[in-house]
Structure 1
Amino acid sequence: MHTLTERLWKSLGGRAQWRLARMRHHTFLVYVAGIVHDEEGRVLLLRHRLWSERRPWGLPGGYVEAGERLPDGVAREVREETALRVRVREVPVGVFSGFRNRVEVFYAADLVGGELRLEEAEILEARWCAPDELPASLPQRQRDLIRSVRARRRR
């Protein structure tokens, strides 16, 4: 079932995907993501099933639900995608206007518990990466944010 949904979603193309997302989110889209660190300072990256094959790796995240606090959205998305529990810091490390009607908000977070179990409908693989060993296909914005958070943690 997952591969059928995946193929259907990818076959729609960007314009149709955005139209469907807009139908679900009636005003604008707020995307949140977490730069999740473990005790060793590594960052959690996920290979997303529904993302482009050119850049499948990225931070855990998703869209905020109506009435949800942004940090709570990050914690929920991480838990839904990986079953891990995180403590999200209250101040965002990056806020960007994304594609069309999307705002992207990134938060630093620390792993506090849970056992890694992937949400197979969305996630193909998880990997803990040192900030200097990130996959080449990771979006540049996320790469820059990870390095920025790393520099702040060293201070």
Structure 2
Amino acid sequence: MGSFAKTLPNLPFAQPGLDRSAELRSDPGLLADLLATPTTRVLELHGDRVEVREEEGLARLSLRAPQAGDIDRLGLFLGVDDHDAAHVAVVLDPPPEDHERPDGSHGVEGGGLRTLRQVGAHLEALDATLFTTSLALANWHRAHPFCPRCGAPTEPAHGGWLRRCTAEGSEHYPRTDVAVIMSVVDQDDRLLLARGAGWGEGRFSVLAGFLEPGESLPVAVAREVREEVGLEVTDVEYLGDQPWPFPTSLMVGFTARALGVDLALQDSEIAEARWFTREELLAAVEDGRLAMSGRLSISRRLLEHWLGHELDRP
């Protein structure tokens, strides 16, 4: 099985990046004060993109000092780094799509506006935290402009960490949708991979699904496997978790052992599924019959945990 740890090592977005300093959020003048302080580091979020520069072969977020006009935008207090510098994201409109390059980048060579999917796997812990937190919060703000209780407009408060109803004052907090994602193996240690309905040919992944109210995480793993492929599982074990701001999820990874091998697919969710030995999977990836998810995702790491090494290494 190789030397991989039992839990998933170096999972993108999973490392602590800065002190969130939540006790500061209740100060109503927090953002105004920070955006008037030259040492504050500001991250511009253009829709779902941020400015990235290349530094010694690595991707780094381009942070700047506060500017006039920042206070008029949606501001998000992200926290304080090891040097006591506060970090704030300001949310801007997305760039015109007709300025996008074929590779999805923008701006100068070696940098420009990039999405989290494009650069997330190459960011250090602090930059990854800044990008994922600001994107998840901005996605939530964008989707909740009105009060779910009375329908009145809401406005941001607490440094961008809640929205308050302008009519009756109720407070509404960011939500995180919890999803379980699992590598299912059989008695012969074969891995189950499935192609989702609507996915392109050859695109396979491990199974996943959202946690339902009243469920524990292992119960959700068992239910999702039963619903999607008709298998009962045992030995459900936690391997790691990953914030996934597309738009506002937390992916919690597990491994589980199937009690059978005969599949009964849920037609509305699963187009096809099959068992793979390690040799079969490597051969299918090498000849292009099988397309794996990118290194950014926990699904790739779950597969590599079973495989015993990274896909691009022996």
Aligned to 2:243: 97
Q: Which residue of 2 aligns with 1:80?
A: 227
Q: Which has the higher contact order (CA 8 A, sep 6+)?
A: 1
Percent identity of paired positions between Structure 1 and Structure 2: 33
Matched residue count: 129
1:12 matched residue in structure 2: none
**Runs of 5+ unmatched residues, structure 2:** 1-138, 145-173, 309-314
Deviation, structure 1 residue 71: 1.1
Is structure 2 residue 178 aligned with structure 1 residue 30? yes
Indicate the residue corresponding to 1:146 in structure 2: 303
Distance 2:261 2:274 in 1: 15
Secondary structure, counterpart of 2:227 in structure 1? helix
Unaligned stretches of 5+ residues in structure 1: 1-17
- TM-score normalised by the chain length of structure 2: 0.37
Which among 291, 302, 309 is matched to residue 137 of structure 1?
A: 291
Deviations 1:94-129 (A, max 9, x none): 200012310001101001137311000111101111
* Structure 1 match to 2:263: 116
Bigger CA radius of gyration: 2
Q: What value does the CA root-mean-square deviation take over the aligned residues?
A: 2.8
Contact 2:186 2:261 in 1 (8 A): no
CA distance in 2: counterparts of 1:129 and 1:72, whole angstroms:
25
Amino acid in the other structure paired with 2:188: E
Distance 1:124 1:54 in 2: 10
2:192/2:275 contact within 8 Å kept: yes
Q: Relative to structure 2, which stretch is displaced further, 42-51 or 75-84?
A: 42-51
- For residues 67-106 of structure 1, the C-alpha deviation after alignment (integer angstroms, 9 at most, x for no partner) is 211111111000000111011424x212000123100011
In 2, the alpha carbon distance for the partners of 1:68 and 1:50 equals 28
TM-score normalised to structure 1 length: 0.70
How much does 1:65 deviate?
0.1
Amino acid in structure 1 at the alignment position of 2:197: R
